[in-house]
Amino acid sequence: MYEYCCDECVKKSFIPPSFGSVPKPIQSMPNISSTQCNAASTNISPIIGGKKKRSKKKKKVVFTAEEPTIHHFDPYNGHGAPLGLNNGRNGNDCDNGPRKSQLTEQLTLLSTLHGRARRQLRDLTKHDLKTVVKYGIKTKGKVVNGAQRWMFEYGNTVVITDPSCKTEITSYNKAINIERAFITEEMLNNHNEAVRILREDPHLCTTHSIIVVDQSGSMKECDMNFFRSRSDASYGTLALDYIAEQLYQMGDEFSVDAVTIIEMKQKGCVIVDREPLDWILFNKVLDRITTASPSSHGNYVNSLALVERIIKRDLALFADLDADDIPAFMLLFISDGKPSDCHGKHTTMRQAIVARLARALQSKLTFIGMGIGATGSDFEQLHLMVDTAKEHGAESQFNHAGLNPATLSITFTSIATSMTTTRTDLRSTTGEKVSKTEKNYSMRQKDKEDNYGVPFRRETYDVCRYVYSPDAKKTSPEANIYDWKKVPFINYESAGFDIDKDPFGKGAERLAYMFQEIKPKKKGQRWDKVGDLMVAKESRFIEDEESKEAFHLHFCRVQQMAQTFATEFNDAVMKAPLLKPSDDEVSLPPPITFLDCSVYEYTNEYDERCGLLVEKYLRGKFTKFNSNNGFIHEDSDGASIQLAIGEVLLTDFVQAFSHWVYERSRHSMLVCDLQGVLDMEGFRPAFRLTDPAICSKLRGRKSHYGKTDLSMRGIRNFCCRHICNNVCAALKLPPPNGRYSNKMKETEDEWTRVSRRSTGLVSETDCQLVSRIPDNDCKDVSNDTMELGCCLLNGPLLFFGPRVVITE
């Protein structure tokens, strides 16, 4: 409650301008006369020049050297605050008298014009300042013109006052402190492997984010809370809410994603070139807050031309891929207003570049324009680029973050989530499934392994057996189906077969039935079963009956090719010195074989020509070791053998086989979806496998190996989840993701010798220095070359890891 010295002052409403509000109920002091009060008030110095006189001419505001006199009204009438109430806080009181009132609304703080302007710029209210002075920590500031200034800090806000602690000099929000990530040895290893993969096998890259950050002079403006400038806000939120957010969403999952960052000044400048999305990149982007130096103009055309050259370089690497298999590109363009190159020809050039990129990538390109600036800023050209991208087939959107870092943060987080969804979609195995009608069937009872008492059907009319043979048309003119060769029954006396009516097993695409050849008895019309039990397979869906020929063709061709690879793999295993049995061990590595398959054709009761896919029946525990969707069977407690390299799980050979095929085919093919049994009955264990899948990246031949050929989706899924083992190391297979099993840690020296053969791996010291690249290390980009330091991008294929340059 304010107190006034007399009734005359109440009538005149003599309120110091520092209060800024009408006082609460007033009490007068009858002991003081109005005459005495008026006499005293004449000695009061005017506050910032007193009342302004009316004048037609505008007066300039002149800051006087003298500090204005402040009247502080003490509710305790000069007796000081009660004991224990903010008395001598922090030991830094600016006078020796009692501490004045600390009620926020009663705290007197005179605002200078400079302070008021800074508050408006930094979105601080006078109430905020009073709260800081009331609750904040008071420390000595700088000495200016012999006068000691005081600094109050509360939360993220700082207020600088004069020696009396009553006049505001300036105020600001401190820049937010974002901690750099602590880089572990595992992070270093993963980074180095990602560098190697992007260099040696860029097809595994899932997404490529190209981010253009405006670094024109206007980005130095200090008008965003928690950051010193617009440039700092851009890099801080980019690191925290785009890069770190994606890393948190991915968790421990290994993924190969590239990021390129271009700073836009008069010419484009590459700061980060196709580096992996990881915590090392996070630190590098974060350190640009202190190393970036906005200046000069911001020309859109030069930076867009640089983006186009980078994307063309990438597309040259993916020339052997179908359009659906190339990575997704995201172009994020951050600017705070109108470009410096704003002539009509420049508008045409910008639209032409964006249109070419959109037509080349279509839905694989997402163009995002992000405006930073106050409401009313000129983002017409940024809007135009976004509309042009959408018009020519790309995904596009415009976001105006204003001057609010919270809005900028939310926008980056939304973009990060969108990129995570895109990454998941590119590796998803369910996107191409079409709704189909499943056949009507009931599963066979598991306790009836023999055929006694099980309903079956018998086919004996015009039954023939065929095997897949690519040169069948030349060697067998009688074959009525291309790529098939007619062969005798497995048992020479056979003339038909019996097949169960109910399947005993089913997979994602097929049903499995018990099958056995039959032969006629010498007397009568009865038939006897002959030979071993076999398995007949057919599609689960009615719609596939019309394409049964293709169904059988793909199955047999994939199984035959997988067997060809398995034969070579078994030879490589036998020749590997580190896979020889140890001195006290006689067990040999298990060979891998795939079952032979054939097609039995017959004429049914409706006089229709039909076919069944048949292979040997596998006895034992049926196991799925891996799949085309990234599944990896874990068998840490399974059977093992002791070899020269150390203890090796038997199932390690199956996982290593998929990895070996990928390297053997020069990264163009992967044999996966491995399933079957481990036969332990012979003198050595052996894997009998069936129904594999082959994922290939053959351009223009989508699903070349049937419906289970997921192309680059399947390859990326396997490479991101495969954990290399001792067999991989013994065969000198470079890890596709830098991960290896715990058992391999015992033989890490050998692993390092045979697998980590790439050059320029980053050390821990390099990682600490990687992001501290001064501006003079970033050269401008001319029309003919794109440079980063002394490295040219239009020459041989280059990849830039942190401070690492690798050429081929």
Rounded to whole angstroms, what are the CA distances from 621 to 9, 224, 443, 509?
100, 65, 19, 21
Q: Which two tokens stand for residue 706?
A: 């049937």
The least confident of 513-522, 589-598, 631-640 is: 631-640
- pLDDT band at 118, cuts 50/70/90? low
3-state secondary structure of 274: strand
Supply the pLDDT for residue 546.
60
The least confident of 119-128, 228-237, 743-752, 796-805 is: 796-805
Supply the pLDDT for residue 120.
54
Mean pLDDT, rounded, for 333-348: 88
Assess whether the region 204-428 and the region 456-755 belong to the same CATH fold. Answer: no
Highest-confidence segment of 20-34, 158-172, 766-780: 158-172
Give, as one character, the DSSP assignment of residue 628. T
Distance separating alpha carbons of residues 647 and 747, to the nearest angstrom: 10
Residue 692 C-alpha from the chain's centroid:
30
Element (H, E) at 768: helix 764-769
- Does the structure show a pLDDT above 50 at 34? no
Supply the pLDDT for residue 687.
95
- Does the structure show a pLDDT above 60 at 217? yes
Distance separating alpha carbons of residues 733 and 416, to the nearest angstrom: 33
Work out the widest C-alpha separation in the chain, in whole angstroms: 145
- The phi, psi pair for 783, rounded to 5°, reads -75, -20
CATH topology of domain 456-755: Phosphorylase Kinase; domain 1 (3.30.200)
Q: Report the DSSP beta bridge partners of residue 515.
A: 499, 534
Supply the pLDDT for residue 240.
87
Taking only the tens place, the pLDDT of each residue in 296-335 is: 888 999 999 999 999 999 998 888 777 878 889 999 999 9
- Does the structure show a pLDDT above 80 at 744? no
Helical ranges in 251-343 per DSSP H? 279-291, 300-317
Supply the pLDDT for residue 805.
29
Check if CATH label 3.40.50.1970 holds for domain 204-428: no
8 A C-beta contact, residue 233 and residue 404: no
Element (H, E) at 733: none
Amino acid at 74: D
Q: How many CB atoms lie within 10 A of CB 58?
A: 6
- Calculate the dihedral angle through the C-alpha atoms of 109, 110, 113, 115, rounding to the nearest 10 degrees: -20
Taking only the tens place, the pLDDT of each residue in 82-100 is: 444 344 434 444 444 434 4
Amino acid at 355: A
Supply the pLDDT for residue 324.
79
Supply the pLDDT for residue 595.
92
Q: Which two tokens stand for residue 577?
A: 């010195």
8 A C-beta contact, residue 108 and residue 16: yes
The least confident of 74-83, 162-171, 383-392, 557-566 is: 74-83
Taking only the tens place, the pLDDT of each residue in 650-692 is: 999 999 999 999 999 988 899 999 999 999 887 789 999 998 9
0.75 exceeded by the pTM?
A: no
Supply the pLDDT for residue 717.
85
Q: Which residues contact 570 (CB under 8 A, 6 or more apart)?
A: 591, 592
8 A C-beta contact, residue 241 and residue 231: no
Taking only the tens place, the pLDDT of each residue in 545-592 is: 666 777 788 888 899 999 999 999 999 999 999 999 876 666 789 999
Distance separating alpha carbons of residues 606 and 96, to the nearest angstrom: 113
Report the chain's C-alpha Rg in angstroms. 39
For 553-591, b/e burial (b = at least 16 CB within 10 A) is bbbbbbbbbbbebbeebbebbeebebbbeeeeeebbbbb
Delimit the domains of the chain by residue range: 68-173, 204-428, 456-755
- pLDDT band at 631, cuts 50/70/90? confident
Q: Which residue has the higher pLDDT, 456 or 522?
A: 456
Element (H, E) at 779: none
Mean pLDDT, rounded, for 330-354: 90
Mean pLDDT, rounded, for 282-287: 92
Q: DSSP strand E in 646-744: where?
A: 646-649, 669-672, 675-679, 686-690, 693-696
Average pLDDT in the chain: 74
What is the 3 state secondary structure string of 83-98? CCCCCCHHHCCCCCCC
- pLDDT band at 110, cuts 50/70/90? low
Supply the pLDDT for residue 797.
30
Supply the pLDDT for residue 105.
46
- The phi, psi pair for 141, rounded to 5°, reads -100, -155
Q: Which residue has the higher pLDDT, 803 or 643?
A: 643
Rounded to whole angstroms, what are the CA distances from 323 to 253, 364, 672?
25, 9, 23
Amino acid at 517: E
